[in-house]
Structure 1
Amino acid sequence: MKSKNKTSKPTAVIILGMHRSGTSAMTRVCNILGVNLSDNLLPPTKGNNETGFWEHLNTVVTNEELLDAFDMHWDDPRALPSRWTETEAAKAAREKILAFLKTDFGTAPLWGIKDPRMCRLMPLWDPIIDELGVAPAYIIMLRHPLEVVRSLYQRDGLSDGRGMVLWLRHVIEAERATRGKRRTFVSYDLLMQDWQRAIEGMVGQLGLPFEKTTDESRAEIESFIRPRLRHFNFHDTELYGSAPLARWTGRVFAACRALEQDPQDTKALADIDMVARELDQAGSYFDDIVGEGAPRERKLRQEIVNLRRKVTERENWANEQISRVAERDARIVRRDARIVSLSEELNAAAETSRQTTSELMIENSRLHGEIQFIARTWSWRLTRPFRGISRIALRSLGAMRVMTHHMTVKSAVDAEPLGNHKFRAQKPNPQLVLASPWRFLPSGWVEITYEIDASQTATPFLFADTGQGFTEANRFRLPTTRDGFGRVIVRLPNHVSALRFDPVHFVGTFTIKSINIREVSRIGLGLTALARQLRQVASYSDTRKRN
């Protein structure tokens, strides 16, 4: 489909046509075949060209602002003011258009732009395009006027008479603005029925450098060109069967169809000029009447815009509330599911606990029976005196300061064993459970010596468990190590079942070189205290003699 461009200049494809005449569909097809539309496009609207307008956003805004400066809107059927291109509003619009065309299209070799308002505003746009050094190529979309009128009534509530005059204004002014220039008329019917033939004919007339159609681009176009989106289809007899319609609308529609086949058809051009003159003459009467109602219509239009904005805000608020309620319901569902899961886990844990308790009771009964059986045996009864003697002997050794417990680490909490009595503290207060080589743990007065190799000074704690766990009541703060060594005498509670040693208060490595606990008799403790006092007295006497 690629055709050689007739000019070395960049090409601007200008798509003209009355609203609802298929300009959006044509613009999208051109875009797929290589025409740059820029990224600054008007977004699609639900219920109104949902496949997209493909209109340049700044173009639409600037054109609408210019019409607004003339107290007009896109659906105003009046003629534009005399010498409107020389007004300050037109000059300001010209500067805006020139600026955003340079920004958005720059030196693009093939770009396009579309806005139905341009049908009436081409006297302003043409000099701007010429100043950019771009060769324009005009595509005028032609759709049955009754289909356009009915579509405008359904979408905007416009009356048939107003829609017909609007159609005439747009088509006549687009034709007269592009007469003698590089242009083509494209039938909306042909685009919907056989888009490829319509595009090939258009490219042949204009010499557009479109990209070659590929399977991918063909599939994309056919997914976009949807004949089912066409809601109205009128026969020509409905247009020409009415004398009032046939005189203006029918004659212009027939003339444009003739120009579609022969762009130089003199009779068709003469018919359009005749209708244009009569429309201008009639406009000199009804334009003032329409103009009188323009301020009120403008006010109502602004009220409609404000109401729509409020409705949109209310809908957004309602959607937000619905979303919050849905989120809350989802949280409740997740919470209920979690509660059910936890209930099931608790029930399972309770059942497991009951089974474990039952098993422990059975095992306890069995062990109690075995103990009773052992206690009734002759061997146990005969060795009772020897066991008593053994306990007395061990306690005697302790009373003579002979019983020493060389403690070892049985288990560790928050401390990783590294071997060779070395540990890595994973938390600031690692805990070491100690074990004695004897069958019992020390109690009463004891002397504790310990040696800890660490990067920081160690201030250890010792906890004694008497069957109630390691509590603060049986916690002993031991002296800080000096050169890694510490010594202290404390009184441990009776019936110690476990000892816990907390060596350091930092995260890092340390080595427990030794922990020794020696039982001390009261006599020995008293002698030690007496010896300490004698040493203090002797030291005091020596000091007085030297003085």
Structure 2
Amino acid sequence: MTDRPRLVLVTGSGRSGTSSVAGTLKRLGLHVPQPEVPADDKNPRGYYEPLWVTEFHKRVLNPVPVRTIDTRPTAAAIAARAGSKPEVESELREWLAGQLDTQPAGGQVLVKDPRAFWILPVWTRVAAQLGADVVTLTMLRHPTEVVRSRDTAYLSDQDPAFRRQRETANVAAWVNAAFATERATREQPRAFVRYHDLLGDWRAAMARAGSQLGLTYSPDPSISPHPVDDFIDARLNRSAISWDDIAVPPQLRDLASRTWDAMNVLVEVPDDAAAVATLGECEAEYAEMFDFAAAVAMDATTEKVTQARRELRRKKDAEIAELRAEIESLRGRLGEATAPRRSFWRR
């Protein structure tokens, strides 16, 4: 440990337990910049996300656009270009400097947002310029549970056919995020925490992660009862399902299973060379699978694009017609107002 401040970035696929681990770290003494995103019915225990950070990531990624979960193998490169702009770096530096200035020597600042891995380089670059060290903690939850949790939180009112399509897309997005996160975090001290480990024995899970990241906790986890005891609830895991419960093509299911197995190796050894090599092979396989899927769906995609363009043209034509009618109306009224009037005495 040094007197340099430490920036702890919590990331991972959405609905993988990032809020649970961030809430745990806050109760272990890490500082979450305020204000936080407020709790809601989708996450009643809180998100523990700095509101500024979530809005910052939206400003950078939405225009590109790169979604929080994105199936495209090119999404990471697109996001990296968006995050490398000088104005993005300048905006982040101003905010982060203000946060670090309020911390004591060796302070630990906690920033949680599942989107952080998309533009991790700008975070590490700016933190280094400000004299801070970046470490990352990535949550791991089985893709079937992530998909079902997303279904419950966001798609409960959608058509069943659409939900089945989203299940496949969400598994693909989970796989793609796993590759992007693992690759982005290689240059910093990192830890991977299983969601089930956190719920089953948070003390053991956080002791391992804290050792890997060089964190200090206060109050110490050995204290019992501990504030985390009332926060972590094993009943939070309401999505214990299997592959048989969701509609996913066999090839994607097999790839996701191998990706999951390799990511789990990193929990014990965050830089295991064999696991990293396996993930690289899986990533290449996924890119090929994505290209084949795009080719198969080309006609359907073209039809949707054509329909979207036609609808846009229809709306523009309607707006133009409305503007022309308004202009003609104004011209008529202007003509009436400026027309010469005959004098009463000349009648």
TM-score normalised according to structure 1 size: 0.48
Most deviating of 203-212 and 49-58 = 203-212
Out of 60, 63, 68, the residue aligned to residue 66 of structure 1 is 60
The share of aligned pairs that are identical, in percent, is 24
Most deviating of 172-181 and 18-27 = 172-181
1:481-502 CA distance string (max 9 Å, x none):
xxxxxxxxxxxxxxxxxxxxxx
Identify unmatched segments of 5+ residues in structure 1.
300-547
1:149, 1:164 within 8 Å by CA — same for their partners in 2? yes
Distance 1:271 1:291, change over 3 A: farther
Alignment of 1:305-344 (within 5 A): none
Larger radius of gyration: 1
Count of residue correspondences: 290
Out of 90, 95, 99, the residue aligned to residue 94 of structure 2 is 99
1:62-101 CA distance string (max 9 Å, x none):
1112221113432442232746544598433322222211
Most deviating of 175-184 and 99-108 = 99-108
Give the AA of the match of 1:138: T
Distance 1:291 1:186, change over 3 A: farther
Q: Distance in 2 between matches of 1:88 and 1:202?
A: 28
Aligned partner of residue 272 in structure 1, secondary structure: helix
Bigger strand fraction: 1
Aligned partner of residue 113 in structure 1, secondary structure: strand
Shift of 1:247: 3.1
1:85, 1:91 within 8 Å by CA — same for their partners in 2? no
The equivalent of 2:280 in structure 1 is 273
Q: Distance in 1 between matches of 2:112 and 2:83?
A: 24
Out of 128, 131, 134, the residue aligned to residue 133 of structure 1 is 131
Q: Is residue 244 of structure 2 the alignment partner of residue 250 of structure 1?
A: no
Aligned partner of residue 42 in structure 1, secondary structure: coil
Q: Distance in 2 between matches of 1:82 and 1:111?
A: 27
Distance 1:91 1:210, change over 3 A: same
1:416-470 CA distance string (max 9 Å, x none):
xxxxxxxxxxxxxxxxxxxxxxxxxxxxxxxxxxxxxxxxxxxxxxxxxxxxxxx
Aligned partner of residue 69 in structure 1, secondary structure: coil
Bigger helix fraction: 2
Aligned partner of residue 141 in structure 1, secondary structure: strand
Q: Is residue 10 of structure 2 the alignment partner of residue 15 of structure 1?
A: yes
Alignment of 1:516-535 (within 5 A): none
Aligned partner of residue 184 in structure 1, secondary structure: strand
Give the AA of the match of 1:124: V
Give the AA of the match of 1:122: L
Give the AA of the match of 2:195: Y
Q: Distance in 1 between matches of 2:53 and 2:148?
A: 26
Out of 259, 263, 269, the residue aligned to residue 266 of structure 2 is 259
Give the AA of the match of 2:288: Q
2:6, 2:133 within 8 Å by CA — same for their partners in 1? yes
Aligned partner of residue 111 in structure 2, secondary structure: strand
Q: Distance in 1 between matches of 2:301 and 2:120?
A: 23
Distance 1:119 1:88, change over 3 A: closer
Shift of 1:203: 1.4
Distance 1:170 1:90, change over 3 A: farther
Shift of 1:105: 3.5
Most deviating of 206-215 and 123-132 = 206-215
Distance 1:175 1:81, change over 3 A: closer
Aligned partner of residue 281 in structure 2, secondary structure: helix
1:27-52 CA distance string (max 9 Å, x none):
11111111110222111112x11110
Out of 36, 44, 47, the residue aligned to residue 39 of structure 2 is 44
1:13, 1:138 within 8 Å by CA — same for their partners in 2? yes
Alignment of 1:168-247 (within 5 A): 168-213=175-220, 218-234=225-241, 243-247=250-254
Distance 1:283 1:55, change over 3 A: same
Q: Is residue 28 of structure 2 the alignment partner of residue 30 of structure 1?
A: no
Identify unmatched segments of 5+ residues in structure 2.
156-162, 312-347
2:60, 2:83 within 8 Å by CA — same for their partners in 1? no
Distance 1:165 1:71, change over 3 A: same
The alignment yields a C-alpha RMSD, in angstroms, of 3.1
Give the AA of the match of 1:57: L
Give the AA of the match of 1:250: S
Most deviating of 110-119 and 177-186 = 177-186
Distance 1:30 1:217, change over 3 A: farther
The equivalent of 2:152 in structure 1 is 154
Q: Distance in 2 between matches of 1:23 and 1:217?
A: 24
